[in-house]
Chains A and B, each alone.
Chain A
């Protein structure tokens, strides 16, 4: 029988099917971080259990860590205790920790792939909704709650109900200035922030095949923002080339065997999906959000919807409420609007390719004096690569501030917050009320669009930025 990519991986990991209930699903890799793990460790200890398969767990500290002076003790007491507890828990349970100061430390969804831990065909979980990122390698990867983290600690398994499957096919060529972040913001704007709830999404089509691994990760990362539990892309030569030679990638002795397995990971030609969506890549413009969920996005040169013309009452109320929070007006354009902050970072867009894109645009330019620009590399490895390629010099000359690796202002758990009432163009994934700090107003966009705003100080169409004189 014809199978989807998802089915092939799922079926191989079902330990037991409970009658009229969920499946017992075996988990290959479990990533943990300091914020959603302490209660899970406490839970198994209370039951008198130890971590069942510690060698399949990888830990890092990312959500809560400062992005300045990481060599010093963390100033915030609660953050320090949480990070310290991760260190102690990992030690006690024999879990590999890439904590602060370790050369592999970084945002969990950046380090997994860059270390070659994330591989095609795996089941991967983490107590973080953006675990969907790892699906870019053709794995089933999804975010879980802390009780589920505890389940995986206890048994290396989860009880899961098989989701419905959606395929989003994007064919054709992207316009200049349009990057993968624009693709995913476009999709979410089309199908809404709940349009894929209950589904696992496979992204396919020629436009997806043409993307680098970094670009594919950006798309899979934001699958959760339309409600999907995860997103995935069938592995291909781009995937295999990315993985080969990385720290924890299969070595020469196993490579051919693994590669042969990975090459079987695609949806069969006549596989059936519960829902199919087709998108023409040429229709996608650089995107920006105006509201307080990632589905409220428009083309950079478009206008905010006219609220009076929205027929559905719930939708009209949502957008009216969002615009009140954002201090924006119905029917108006965003182009030319001043912004006070630019944040380039997060598990969505903090990889080396994202930072290369930013550098290529800002080289030889200076930031607008009214804008604060923060660049937070996704990992220590990315930070080292930035230096090795001389991108740090480009950023410093432009007046950008370069920080150390962590989740930072994506969720404002550490000191990196946007002040109330101020606007931030952010390459992160969520524009929820208060996400970047109480009262902060977030406009989600691509690294290119964020960099363009850093230069001009206003919302800018990157395609119209004048060349460096």
Chain B
């Protein structure tokens, strides 16, 4: 995993609540056996008419050129439903490094973190401020300080992330490295379980 320390970028607003992972990546695209290439199918059925890449839906934000950036800002309960990690892969492959929402579904949050995509949980009021900003606005997310800032106004919120996960993100470590470094302890635990 690549280290993630800060993000400074414009953002893509998606003011819809309960965005489920079936919308982020529909099931018919889960037949791949590698992690790559899911970005082109991100929000597939919201993005194209009749699944046709030549017919982008003009009213969907990913098809509006004025909205761009490495940050997706979405309504509450983002990532609910299926555990498919393909949702995190699709967001990452599209170029998103962070998703901002007032509420994340648990499995999605873990999947995102395990792929270096930062879920940033903000208050409802801060989220409303973000949605009210124009398309030129930029945000700065500082992983170490755990802050998200609207650059133009200086408005800022602190977000939660546990110390362990923060260290992983800042250094690009992943959980598997940690777990296999503890194998002796795991084996001792197994022996005690069986005794």
Contacts and interface: CB of A to CB of B under 8 A. Distances in A.
A16 B80 contact: no
B182 A15 contact: yes
B57 to A, nearest CB: 13
Contacts of A22: 162, 164-165
Contacts of B16: 317-318, 321
A155 B183 contact: yes
B105 interface: yes
Interface string A234-264: 0000000000000000000000000000000
Contact of B179 (A144, A157, A197): A157
B110 A145 contact: yes
Interface residues of B, number: 55
B189 A143 contact: no
B176 A150 contact: yes
Q: Which of B34, B85, B106, B182 counts the most A-chain CB atoms under 10 A from its CB?
A: B106
B175 A151 contact: yes
B33 A81 contact: yes
B27 to A, nearest CB: 5
B182 A16 contact: yes
Contacts of A350: none
A82 B33 contact: yes
B26 interface: yes
B18 A159 contact: no
A155 B105 contact: no
Contacts of A128: 82-83
Q: Which of B32, B33, B85, B183 counts the most A-chain CB atoms under 10 A from its CB?
A: B33
A73 interface: no
Interface residues of A, number: 68
Contact of B27 (A129, A197, A315, A412): A412
A224 B82 CA distance: 9
Contacts, number: 184
Given A78-B32, A82-B31, A197-B106, A155 B20 contact: no
Contact of B186 (A145, A157, A197, A434): A157
Interface string A9-24: 0000001101111101
B141 interface: no
Contacts of A144: 83, 107, 110
Given A26-B189, A155-B179, A156-B186, A20 B164 contact: yes
Interface stretch (A34-42, A354-362, A370-378, A445-453): A34-42
Contacts of B186: 15, 24, 26, 155-157
B88 interface: yes
Interface string A400-424: 0000000000011100000000000
A221 interface: no
B165 A21 contact: yes
Contacts of A49: 180
A82 B29 CA distance: 12
B84 A36 contact: yes
Nearest to B46: A433
Contacts of B20: 293, 430, 432
A302 interface: no
Contacts of B28: 412-413
B51 A438 contact: yes
B19 to A, nearest CB: 10
Nearest to B78: A194
Contact of A430 (B22, B86, B179, B180): B22
A148 B110 contact: yes
A432 B33 contact: no
Contacts of A127: 83, 85
Contact of B77 (A143, A156, A197, A433): A197
A163 B32 CA distance: 32
B89 to A, nearest CB: 8
A161 B105 CA distance: 14
A432 B16 CA distance: 14
Interface in B14-57: 16-18, 20, 22-23, 26-28, 30-35, 45, 50-51
A268 B152 CA distance: 54
Contacts of B142: none
B103 interface: yes
A76 B22 CA distance: 21
Contact of A438 (B45, B88, B162, B174): B45
Contacts of A194: 18, 76-77, 80, 103, 105
Contact of A129 (B76, B82, B183): B82
Nearest to A160: B110
A15 B26 contact: no
Contact of A36 (B22, B76, B83, B190): B83
A44 B165 CA distance: 21
A176 interface: no
A39 B83 contact: no
A127 B35 CA distance: 15
25 contacts: A20-B163, A21-B162, A21-B163, A64-B31, A127-B85, A128-B82, A143-B83, A144-B83, A146-B86, A147-B114, A147-B174, A148-B114, A151-B179, A155-B179, A156-B186, A157-B179, A157-B186, A161-B162, A193-B80, A293-B20, A317-B16, A321-B16, A413-B28, A430-B20, A432-B22
Given A39-B35, A147-B174, A315-B17, 10 more contacts: A21-B163, A24-B186, A26-B186, A36-B85, A42-B34, A82-B33, A146-B86, A148-B111, A158-B175, A161-B162
Interface of B: 16-18, 20, 22-23, 26-28, 30-35, 45, 50-51, 75-77, 80-86, 88, 103-107, 110-111, 114-115, 162-165, 174-176, 178-180, 182-183, 185-186, 189-190, 193
Interface of A: 15-16, 18-22, 24, 26, 35-36, 38-39, 42-43, 47, 49, 52, 63-64, 76, 78-79, 81-82, 85, 127-129, 143-148, 150-151, 154-159, 161, 163, 193-194, 197-198, 224-225, 227, 229, 293, 314-315, 317-318, 321, 411-413, 430, 432-435, 438
